[in-house]
Amino acid sequence: MENFLQEIIQPLQKQDEKMDSLSFWQSEELIQNFETFCQTMELNQTVKNLKIEACFEVSEEIQEKSAKLIEKMIEKNKSIIQLDLHSNHFNDSSICSILNGLLKNSTVKKLDLNQNDFGEQSYQKLGELLMQNHTIEDLNLGITNLSDEGIISLSKIFPFNKSLKIIDLRSNGITSKGAEIFFQSLIQNKVDSIIDISFAFNPVMDSYQQISNWIEINNNISSLNLTGIPFTCDEFEPILASLSKLPSLKILKMSGIKTLKEKGGSLIANFLSKNQSIEHILIGSCSLGDEGLKEIFTILSSNLNQSLKILDAPSNYISDLCTEEIAKAIKENPVIEVINVNGNFITGNGARIIIQALKQKKNLKQCLIDYNSIDKDDSCLEELKELNGEKTKN
C-alpha cells in the first residue's frame, strides 16, 4: 500500500503532468487500492489515457463494485480522453453502471469496450449514450455478444449520433440480416460521418450490396475492415467496384477471405489500377496463388497505382513463379515501401531474384519473405537480413 501511495496516488494528487497515461491491474487484493485510485482520479486533471485491466479475474461482487467506482470516477473526471476497459468481461449490470457515468461525461473521445459481456440492458443503455453523447469519436464494441438483435437496435440510434467516426464491430455473430438493416439505416439517413468501420469475422456475405451502396454515398471512409468474411468473388466484386471510386480510402483489410483465390487477385489488381488513394492493403490468406499475385504486382510494376505504400500478402500459396513480378515492382514502383510475402513457398532461387531487385530498388524499405522455403544454411538469408535491416526466418 505504501508503494502504491508513493508511486501512483501522490503524483496524481499533485497533478504531475508526467502522468498522462495510466494502467491499473485489478485484483481481489487490490480493491481497496482501486477505490483510493478512483477517488483520486475524480479530481485529477493530468491523466488523458486510462486503462483498467483484469476485472475478469475478480468475483462478481468485486467486479460490480469496481464498475460503480468507475462510474463515479468517469462522471466527475474532466481530463480523460481515452478510456480502455477491454477484456474485463464486465457483466450486463456492470456495463450499465459504467455507461451511466459516461452519460454525464463530456471529455472521453475514445472508448474501448472490446471483450465485455453485454446484454439486453447494457445495449439499451449504450443506445441512450449514443443518442445523448456527442463527444465519443472512437468506439470499440468488438467481441461483445452484439448479435443481430443488438445491431438492429443500435441501427435506429447511429443516424442521430453526430460525433462517432470510428466503430469496431468485429466478431459479434452479426449475420447478413443484421448487417443489411444496419447499412440500410446508414444509407437512408445519409450517414457519412463514419470514416473507419470494422465488420471483421461476422458472416455478413449476403449484405454485400448494402455495404457497396453505403460506400457509394460516403466519400469520407478512410479505413474498412472486412477480414475473415467469406465473400465469393461475385459478392466482393461490387464492394471493390465502389471502393475503387472512393477518394478518401487509405486502409483496406480483407485478409482471410480464402474464397477469393486466383480470380480474387484479378479483382484486387483492377481495384488498385483505379483507386489512387489506398496506402495499405492487407490481403493475407486469401488463397490468391502465383497467378493472382502476379496480376497485383504487374499493376505496381506498371505504375498503374502510385499510392500504395504497404502490401501485406502473406500465406497466399505463392512460389518462385511469382518472384519475377515481385522484383519488377521493387525496381519500378516509386511509392511502395513494404512488401510482405511471409509464409509462402519461395525458395533460395526466388529469393536471389528478389535480392537483385532490392539492390536496384526505387523506394522500398523492406521485402519480408520470412517463413518461406529457403534452406536455413542458404547464404541468401544473410543478404536479405542486411537489405531488410532485420533477421529473416525460414
Domains of the chain: 1-141 (3.80.10.10)
Q: Which of 301, 369, 374, 307 is nearest to 333 (CA)?
A: 301
Hey, what's the cell of 124? 439499451
Q: What is the pLDDT of residues 271-308, one digit of tens each?
A: 999 999 999 999 999 999 999 999 999 999 999 999 99
pLDDT on residue 55:
64
Q: Tens of pLDDT along 70-102?
A: 999 999 999 999 999 998 889 999 999 999 999
pLDDT digits (tens, 9 = 90+) for 122-179: 999 999 999 999 999 999 999 999 999 999 999 999 999 989 999 999 999 999 999 9
For the stretch 234-266, pLDDT in tens is 999 999 999 999 999 999 999 999 999 999 999
**Average confidence score pLDDT of the chain:** 94
Classify residue 28 as exposed, middle or buried by CB count within 10 Å of its CB (0-12, 13-18, 19+): exposed
pLDDT in tens, 167-215: 999 999 999 999 999 999 999 999 999 999 999 999 999 999 999 999 9
Q: Which of these ranges, 18-27, 52-61, 282-291, has the smallest mean pLDDT? A: 52-61
Which pLDDT band holds residue 5 (cuts at 50, 70, 90)?
Answer: low
Q: Please report the pLDDT score of residue 3 as a whole number.
A: 74
Cell 447511429 belongs to which residue? 158
Chain-centroid distance of CA 50 in Å reads 20
- Residue 287 C-alpha cell reads as 488463397
CA distance 268 to 217: 22
CB–CB of 221/214 below 8 Å? no
Please report, as a single letter, which amino acid is at residue 139: L
Residues making up the chain, counted from first to last: 394
